[in-house]
């Protein structure tokens, strides 16, 4: 084991004191049907969803639907913006053509109360299937009623070739790394590789590196995502990221899916969405490890990508929709979804012996991350509709400015927080986890 170095965090606190002074993320997204419900999904009850939108994923899921219920189901996919708009329009017009909705937490919460059916009785009738308490709380959307049934989940983890473990800093547990240890690990591995970096991050044009800052780095260092955006701790996090980036494979700016450089050997350690890591260990899973993301001063900040099942108000076939929700909540059905499309169960479900080894590796990492004693759940930007991209652009611009262009951290945060506050005020978006509730007021950078 390589010796651990001096903590960057303690050094950064000193460096930042003067500059701060008195200044105050296809993975699980949608594309497809637009207005009019144009689809190749077939006839029968319409299941309108932002999930499993690639053709192969959709077809695999349709097979699961056929096995889950003895009723014909038309599975229709959509982008999140049109999904929300169409649902609102149909409910408001009293002309609803879909009976079941499938979407991420952020796709469904804008529809709460006025456009969704109360499913409190349904979830109570399903009994104790083992949904995590925090997921049931999210499904209530700040009310006393349940608006969707947690359906499937995913997150982001670290994958590494096993030979990289010998470069861990002394005393480090790869399943419980701190950010300092993660940096030391990357540095030690680079030095052992003749000075050539081995860590890859998904900073390509379609990569999900922004989720690293939104859901992992900033929550772990600051305890929040938006309200702490320009805090002293946030500045420290970005200074840390600058140092970590120096240990990354230079071509990380071209990587959309980290499984590709890991599989080719261009990188040996990588962080990404589970659906974008799964191919790397498929051929030789015994040569890989998958572990939780690191933890920081505020805990193990992690982003959960939570999908739910909801019923629009006025659904033409509510009874069938309720039966299908029940069927999709069965552990064996959720394991079928895991095998087919790498979406993890939200209910208690023991992995069976026929589960692909790569999936088992991921499942262990995802579970350890969620159940860590200092776990701090974070959500993707929520309730923003078609303007989510504008908020995400702020985080991407921060990375470009502070990490790639090495501009001053404090001045960049002061500049970007104004853009972020103006956007959130215009959208009137309340705060989302891990930031505290804003009680109907727009979320605001402190």
Question: Long-range contacts made by residues 33-41, C-beta under 8 angstroms, separation at least 24?
Answer: 33/76, 33/77, 33/78, 33/82, 34/78, 34/79, 34/82, 35/82, 35/86, 37/76, 37/86, 37/97, 37/98, 39/74, 39/75, 39/76, 39/77, 41/73, 41/74, 41/75, 41/76, 41/77
* Separation of alpha carbons 46 and 58, rounded Å: 14
pLDDT value of residue 21: 31
- Distance (Å, whole) CA 138 – CA 134: 6
Q: Residue 40: pLDDT above 80?
A: no
HSE, side-chain direction, 13 A CA sphere, residue 10:
3
Decide if pLDDT at 12 tops 90: no
What is the C-alpha to C-alpha distance for residues 281 and 278, in angstroms, rounded to an integer?
A: 7
Label residue 43 by pLDDT band (50, 70, 90): low
Q: How high is the pLDDT of residue 371?
A: 94
Instruction: Provide the pLDDT for residue 352.
Output: 78
DSSP label at 284? -
pLDDT in tens, 58-107: 999 999 999 999 999 999 999 888 999 999 999 999 999 999 999 999 99
pLDDT for the residue numbered 28: 43
Taking the model in full, what pTM does it have?
0.85
State how far the alpha carbon of 93 is from the alpha carbons of 81, 108, 289, 312, 362, in Å: 18, 19, 52, 12, 44
Whether residue 6 contacts residue 184, with contact meaning beta carbons closer than 8 Å, is answered with no
Name the band, by pLDDT with cuts 50, 70 and 90, for residue 440.
confident
Q: Looking at per-residue confidence, does 14 or 97 come out higher?
A: 97
Residue 20 pLDDT class (50, 70, 90 cuts) = very low
Please give the average per-residue pLDDT across 208-226, as a whole number.
97
Asked if 295 and 378 touch (Cβ cutoff 8 Å), the reply is no
Q: Give Cα 419 to chain centroid, integer Å.
A: 23
| pLDDT for residue 382 | 84
Q: What average pLDDT is seen over the chain? A: 89
Residues in CB range of 415: below 8 A, 6 or more apart: none
Share of the chain above pLDDT 70, in %: 90
Q: Give 332's strand partners.
A: none
Q: In which band, very low, low, confident or very high, does the pLDDT at 324 lie, cut at 50, 70 and 90?
A: very high
- pLDDT class of 161 with cuts at 50, 70, 90: very high
Least confident of 117-126, 221-230, 340-349: 340-349
The two tokens of residue 58 are: 């959709």
| Angstrom distance (rounded) from CA 51 to CA 152 | 10
User: What confidence score (pLDDT) does residue 44 get?
Assistant: 86
Question: What is the pLDDT at residue 388?
Answer: 86
Q: What is the mean pLDDT of the segment spanning 166-185? A: 98
Confidence class for position 117, pLDDT limits 50, 70, 90: very high
User: Is residue 36 scored above 60 in pLDDT?
Assistant: no
Does the pLDDT value for residue 283 go beyond 90?
A: no
Q: Is 128 helix (H, G, I), strand (E, B) or coil?
A: coil
- What is the helix (H) or strand (E) element at residue 179, kind and residue range? helix 179-192
* pLDDT for 446: 83
- Whole-angstrom CA distances from 438 to 26, 134, 223, 266, 317 are 31, 18, 15, 44, 36
- Distance (Å, whole) CA 163 – CA 157: 18
């Amino acid at each position: 084991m390589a010796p651990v170095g001096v903590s960057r965090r303690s050094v950064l606190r000193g460096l930042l004191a003067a500059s701060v002074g008195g200044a105050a993320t296809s993975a699980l997204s949608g594309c497809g049907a637009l207005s009019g419900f144009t689809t190749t999904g077939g006839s029968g009850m319409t299941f309108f969803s932002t999930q499993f939108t690639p053709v192969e994923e959709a077809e695999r899921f349709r097979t699961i639907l056929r096995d889950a219920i003895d009723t014909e189901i038309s599975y229709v996919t959509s982008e999140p913006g049109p999904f929300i708009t169409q649902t609102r329009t149909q409910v408001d017009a009293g002309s609803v053509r879909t009976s079941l909705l499938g979407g991420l937490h952020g796709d469904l919460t804008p529809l709460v109360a006025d456009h969704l059916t109360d499913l409190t009785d349904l979830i109570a009738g399903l009994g104790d299937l083992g949904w995590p308490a925090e997921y049931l709380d999210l499904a209530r959307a700040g009310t006393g009623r349940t608006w969707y049934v947690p359906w499937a989940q995913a997150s982001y983890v670290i994958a590494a070739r096993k030979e990289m473990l010998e470069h861990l800093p002394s005393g480090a547990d790869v399943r419980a790394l701190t950010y300092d240890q993660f940096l030391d690990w990357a540095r030690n591995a680079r030095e052992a590789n003749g000075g050539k970096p081995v860590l890859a991050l998904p900073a390509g044009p379609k990569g999900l590196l922004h989720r690293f800052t939104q859901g992992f780095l900033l929550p772990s260092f600051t305890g929040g995502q938006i309200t702490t955006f320009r805090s002293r701790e946030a500045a420290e996090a970005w200074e840390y990221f600058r140092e970590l980036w120096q240990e990354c494979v230079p071509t990380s700016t071209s990587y959309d899916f980290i499984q590709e450089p890991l599989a080719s050997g261009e990188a040996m350690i990588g962080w990404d969405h589970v659906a974008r890591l799964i191919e790397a260990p498929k051929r030789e899973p015994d040569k890989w490890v998958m572990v939780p993301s690191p933890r920081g001063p505020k805990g193990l900040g992690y982003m959960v990508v939570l999908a739910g099942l909801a019923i629009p108000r006025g659904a033409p076939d509510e009874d069938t929709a309720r039966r299908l929700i029940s069927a999709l909540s069965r552990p064996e059905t959720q394991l079928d979804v895991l095998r087919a499309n790498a979406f993890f169960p939200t209910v208690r479900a023991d992995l069976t012996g026929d589960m692909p080894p790569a999936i088992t590796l991921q499942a262990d990492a995802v579970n350890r991350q969620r159940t860590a004693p200092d776990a701090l759940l974070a959500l993707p930007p929520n309730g923003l509709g078609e303007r989510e991209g504008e908020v995400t652009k702020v985080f991407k611009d921060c990375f470009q400015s502070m990490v790639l262009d090495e501009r001053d951290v404090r001045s960049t945060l002061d500049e970007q927080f104004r853009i972020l506050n103006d956007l959130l005020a215009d959208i009137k978006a309340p705060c989302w986890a891990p930031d505290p509730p804003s009680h109907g007021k727009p979320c605001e950078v402190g």
